[in-house]
């Protein structure tokens, strides 16, 4: 009997039979990158360069776009040359080459349609060269706007999330808070935050403060809603287990319900971030006299559409970077979950 | 066995006196389902008792009452001479689903009870001890979704045991495991029980498991849930699953459960029928004196679904009228 008990406790044997689910299959070494893949970017860049040179004969001021294309061409060739030394680079190239080549081709097509064939009316649709030139010319103003937008966004988002987590947990956990909070949430929540702008401008001492408040309100609704639903949907058996382990209410809320609600909370955080971007741009356009939204409206007033597009490019980079950061945080916090969506 | 000496006992005696519990029907609060009709049961300190019976006989309800997660409509529950009023760390509970907190590593799951009671600082050394006890030192930092069913259930056991419960309640803890892992885990649970002498109440669907492990087997019948019979298992441990005494006892219990004879089998065409079919039967059909145990028993043993059966719903519906509003359906 004793020996058989020892046998059952032998970790090696257990490991063999029970660790099937835990087996970590190492990823296979990166195979070679196909020549076609490696050539895609240089070919696309060369074509774009030739097209650009042909198209821009009569517009001599757009050297920066040629330089930009040359840099892409040069880096693609260098990367193709050194890829055999680094498996990381190889994997990255195999993944990224098609999409970069696609982007370069698209901007080439854009140039053909706008500057080349002049199918779209100027000045509303400048070519890629014009946009790049605007980006470079007005970089100080754009950076300043982006910085102002970032401050506004972070202040509003942080305030909204902080309040929403508290209200969400309360509504999700306490019956009294749910009784009084839910109707408020259901009535006030669906109003688009931007609809509050007139009121906010009257109430708030400064336009910046009113924008922060409006963004916070926009964030508050989805985060509260999903936090509350995540908390109230905590598996009852987790709470039962915790109770039989001697947990008091603080433990149940902070160590069981909130972690269990995290996946739902993060969905709220993503929805809130989207709402915050939207509200930020609108608030800047109508009230605050700074930021990327304001910049777009301002340049549009001067019919400087190259700068409008430049601001859109910055906005895209800016917002998607913030979104990616949130995904990174999510992946860390929810590492315990299986099968999370990649961003 | 070295650890058999009684002075190591951590267990307490447990008494359940004439406990009655009903649940309101989900759609009508005036119709109540009687889950337990006056159950009386007592366990001596350090005893291992199995609770056997078909789905709907109130085994899990009884366990939840003892755990303090629900309160009875009438009757008393005592641990030694202290009445049970609320959940407490002195009554550990292990479910069929290990219910590990998926966001915590194995180590943090095991120490959850210490954290919850605010004694992690003094008792940190015990975490390693309990991980060793269930043979999981190597997986301290693994997350629950990386564990197999058997390993996860070991973690759940360690998590319950680290609080040194006076009574350990096991709700079909091995029901979801494959036959080989289950037999190994039975030895494991026995070893833990022999080492600590915790009083254990084990709910199971498996007669072999009940005979192999317990001092006494309590057989319950449904509609409404009550205790039918108690059988003492007087075999010496370690028990041999194929010894004549074991098989004879097994036969007796099967007979008691109306499972052994051909006659009972013939009048049960619905073998393998899902238990939901029972609800459609008119109430007159349910005879508490001669319960239709055989088909349900086969069914619940052969195709155990991982989800715990909603037992109160299976029980016969009776009208009591105006019961306590606060009671909820057991999860």
Q: In angstroms, rounded to a whole number, what is the distance separating the alpha carbons of residues B268 and B270?
A: 5
Select the residue of A14, A244, A336 nearest B103 (Cβ to Cβ): A336
Which residues from chain A sit within 8 angstroms of residue B163, using beta carbons?
A: 245-246
Token representation of residue B211 = 């005979």
pLDDT level of residue B259 (50, 70, 90 thresholds):
low
User: Residue A135 above 50 pLDDT?
Assistant: yes
Whether B99 has its CB under 8 Å from any CB of chain A: the answer is yes
Whether B184 has its CB under 8 Å from any CB of chain A: the answer is yes
Select the residue of B68, B93, B142 nearest A241 (Cβ to Cβ): B93
pLDDT single digits (tens) A243-270 = 999 999 999 999 999 999 999 999 999 9
Strand pairing partners for A308? Answer: none
Whether B260 has its CB under 8 Å from any CB of chain A: the answer is no
ipTM for this model: 0.75
Select the residue of B89, B135, B145 nearest A14 (Cβ to Cβ): B135
What stretches of B10-148 show up as alpha helix (H) in DSSP?
A: 59-67, 106-110, 112-117, 120-133
pLDDT single digits (tens) B12-66 = 899 998 898 888 877 877 788 888 888 899 999 989 999 988 887 888 889 999 9
Q: In angstroms, rounded to a whole number, what is the distance separating the alpha carbons of residues B166 and B92?
A: 8
pLDDT level of residue B253 (50, 70, 90 thresholds):
confident
Tell me whether residues B69 and A243 touch, CB distance under 8 A.
Answer: yes
Which residues from chain B sit within 8 angstroms of residue A259, using beta carbons?
A: 101, 103-104
Select the residue of A4, A9, A238 nearest B99 (Cβ to Cβ): A238
Whether B93 has its CB under 8 Å from any CB of chain A: the answer is yes
For chain A, list the domains and their CATH numbers. Answer: 35-125 (no CATH), 139-333 (1.10.3720.10)
Work out the minimum CA distance from B85 to partner chain A, whole angstroms: 12
What stretches of chain B show up as alpha helix (H) in DSSP?
A: 59-67, 106-110, 112-117, 120-133, 149-161, 179-196, 207-213, 244-256, 262-266, 277-280, 293-302, 311-314
- Indicate the angle between helix axes A63-82 and A128-137, nearest 10 degrees: 100
The residue-averaged pLDDT of B216-232 equals: 86
Nearest chain B alpha carbon to A11: B135
Tell me whether residues A245 and B92 touch, CB distance under 8 A.
Answer: yes
Tell me whether residues B151 and A14 touch, CB distance under 8 A.
Answer: yes
Select the residue of B91, B147, B188 nearest A22 (Cβ to Cβ): B147
Return the ∠ at Cα A142 (arms to A117 and A66), rounded to 5°. Answer: 40
Nearest chain B alpha carbon to A23: B146
Nearest chain B alpha carbon to A247: B116
The residue-averaged pLDDT of A220-237 equals: 95
Return the domain boundaries, chain B: 2-80+166-319
Select the residue of A243, A256, A335 nearest B101 (Cβ to Cβ): A256
Work out the minimum CA distance from B51 to partner chain A, whole angstroms: 20
Q: What is the pLDDT of residue A31?
A: 58
DSSP structure string for A62-82: -HHHHHHHHHHHHHHHHHHHH
Q: What is the pLDDT of residue A201?
A: 82
- Indicate the angle between helix axes A139-173 and A292-301, nearest 10 degrees: 130
Whether B286 has its CB under 8 Å from any CB of chain A: the answer is no
Main-chain phi, psi angles of B229, to 5 degrees: -165, 150
The segment with the largest mean pLDDT, out of A13-27, A149-163, B75-89, B287-301, is A149-163
Work out the minimum CA distance from A327 to partner chain B, whole angstroms: 18
Query: How many pairs of residues across A and B have Cβ atoms under 8 Å apart?
Result: 111
A305 contacts A321 by C-beta, under 8 angstroms: no
User: Residue A340 above 70 pLDDT?
Assistant: no
DSSP SS3 for B23: strand
Q: In angstroms, rounded to a whole number, what is the distance separating the alpha carbons of residues B186 and B192?
A: 10
The residue-averaged pLDDT of A190-213 equals: 87
Select the residue of A237, A247, A259 nearest B99 (Cβ to Cβ): A237
The 8-class DSSP code of residue A115 comes to I
Q: In angstroms, rounded to a whole number, what is the distance separating the alpha carbons of residues B220 and B53?
A: 5
Which residues from chain B sit within 8 angstroms of residue A16, using beta carbons?
A: none
Q: What is the pLDDT of residue B313?
A: 38
The residue-averaged pLDDT of A133-153 equals: 92
Nearest chain A alpha carbon to B331: A236
Tell me whether residues A245 and B145 touch, CB distance under 8 A.
Answer: no
Residues in chain B: 331
Which residues from chain B sit within 8 angstroms of residue A256, using beta carbons?
A: 101
Q: What is the pLDDT of residue B258?
A: 73
pTM, two decimal places: 0.77
Which residues from chain A sit within 8 angstroms of residue B138, using beta carbons?
A: 11, 15
The residue-averaged pLDDT of B298-326 equals: 37
Which residues from chain A sit within 8 angstroms of residue B148, using beta carbons?
A: 18-22
pLDDT level of residue B223 (50, 70, 90 thresholds):
confident
Q: Among A69-73, B32-36, B92-96, where is mean pLDDT lowest?
A: B32-36
Tell me whether residues B89 and A5 touch, CB distance under 8 A.
Answer: no
Q: Among A118-127, B33-42, B252-261, where is mean pLDDT lowest?
A: B252-261
Q: Could you tell me how far CA B11 lies from the centroid of its own chain? A: 17
Work out the minimum CA distance from A19 to partner chain B, whole angstroms: 6
Tell me whether residues A9 and B113 touch, CB distance under 8 A.
Answer: no
Work out the minimum CA distance from A260 to partner chain B, whole angstroms: 8
- The CATH number of the domain covering residues in B2-80+166-319: 3.40.50.300
B227 contacts B288 by C-beta, under 8 angstroms: no
Kindly state the percentage of chain A with pLDDT values over 70: 87
Nearest chain B alpha carbon to A253: B116
Q: Chain A residues within 8 A (CB-CB) of chain B?
A: 1, 4-5, 8-11, 14-15, 17-22, 235-238, 240-248, 251, 255-256, 259-260, 262, 335-338
């Amino acid at each position: 009997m004793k020996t058989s008990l020892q046998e059952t406790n032998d970790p090696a044997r257990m490991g063999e039979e029970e660790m099937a689910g835990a087996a970590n299959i190492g990823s296979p070494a990166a195979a070679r990158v196909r020549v076609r893949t490696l050539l895609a970017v240089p070919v696309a860049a060369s074509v774009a360069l030739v097209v650009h040179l042909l198209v821009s004969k009569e517009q001599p001021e757009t050297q920066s776009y040629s330089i930009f294309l040359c840099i892409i061409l040069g880096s693609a060739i260098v990367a193709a040359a050194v890829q055999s030394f680094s498996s990381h680079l190889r994997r990255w190239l195999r993944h990224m080459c098609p999409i970069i080549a696609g982007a370069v081709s698209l901007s080439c097509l854009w140039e053909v349609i706008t500057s080349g064939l002049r199918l779209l009316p100027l000045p509303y649709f400048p070519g890629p060269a014009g946009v790049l030139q605007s980006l470079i010319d007005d970089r100080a103003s754009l950076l300043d706007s982006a910085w102002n937008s970032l401050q506004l966004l972070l202040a509003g988002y942080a305030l909204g999330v902080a309040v929403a987590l508290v209200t969400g947990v309360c509504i999700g956990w306490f019956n009294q808070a749910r009784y009084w909070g839910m109707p408020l949430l259901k009535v006030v929540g669906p109003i688009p935050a931007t609809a509050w702008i007139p009121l906010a401008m009257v109430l708030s001492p400064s336009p910046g403060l009113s924008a922060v408040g409006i963004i916070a309100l926009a964030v508050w609704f989805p985060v509260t809603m999903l936090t509350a639903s995540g908390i109230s949907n905590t598996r009852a058996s987790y709470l039962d287990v915790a109770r039989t382990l001697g947990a008091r209410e603080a433990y149940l809320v902070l160590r069981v319900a909130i972690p269990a609600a995290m996946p739902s909370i993060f969905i709220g955080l993503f929805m809130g971030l989207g709402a915050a971007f939207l509200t930020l741009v609108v608030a800047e356009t109508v009230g605050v006299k700074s930021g990327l939204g304001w910049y777009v409206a301002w340049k549009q007033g001067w019919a400087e559409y190259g700068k409008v597009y430049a601001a859109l490019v910055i906005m895209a980079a800016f917002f998607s970077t913030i979104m990616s950061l949130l995904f990174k945080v999510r992946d860390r916090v929810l590492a315990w979950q299986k099968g999370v969506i990649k961003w | 066995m070295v650890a058999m000496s009684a002075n190591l006992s951590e267990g307490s005696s447990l008494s359940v006196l004439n406990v009655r519990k009903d649940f309101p029907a989900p759609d009508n609060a005036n119709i109540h389902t009687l889950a337990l009709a006056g159950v009386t049961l007592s366990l001596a300190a350090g005893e291992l008792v199995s609770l056997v019976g078909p789905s709907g006989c109130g085994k899990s309800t009884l366990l939840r009452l003892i755990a303090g997660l629900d309160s009875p409509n009438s009757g008393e529950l005592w641990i030694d001479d202290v009445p049970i009023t609320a959940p407490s760390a002195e009554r550990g509970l292990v479910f069929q689903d290990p219910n590990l907190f998926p966001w915590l590593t194995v180590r943090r799951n095991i120490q959850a009870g210490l954290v919850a009671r605010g004694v992690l600082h003094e008792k940190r050394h015990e975490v390693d001890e309990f991980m060793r006890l269930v043979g999981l030192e190597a997986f301290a930092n693994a997350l629950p979704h990386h564990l197999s069913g058997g390993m996860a259930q070991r973690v759940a056991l360690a998590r319950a045991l680290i609080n040194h419960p006076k009574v350990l309640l096991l709700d079909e803890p091995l029901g979801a495991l494959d036959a080989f892992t289950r037999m190994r885990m039975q030895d494991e649970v026995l070893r833990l029980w022999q080492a600590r002498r915790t009083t254990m109440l084990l709910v199971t669907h498996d007669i072999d498991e009940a005979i192999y492990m317990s001092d006494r087997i309590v057989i319950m019948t449904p509609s409404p849930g009550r205790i039918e019979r108690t059988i003492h298992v007087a075999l010496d441990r370690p028990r041999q699953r194929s010894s004549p005494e074991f098989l004879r006892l097994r036969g007796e219990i099967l007979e008691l459960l109306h499972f052994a004879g051909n006659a009972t089998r013939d009048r049960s065409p619905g073998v393998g029928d899902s238990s939901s079919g029972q609800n459609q039967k008119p109430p007159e059909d349910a005879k508490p004196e001669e319960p239709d145990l055989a088909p349900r028993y086969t069914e619940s043993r052969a195709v155990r679904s991982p989800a715990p059966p909603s037992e109160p719903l299976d029980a016969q519906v009776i009208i009591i009228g105006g019961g306590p509003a606060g009671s909820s359906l057991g999860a």
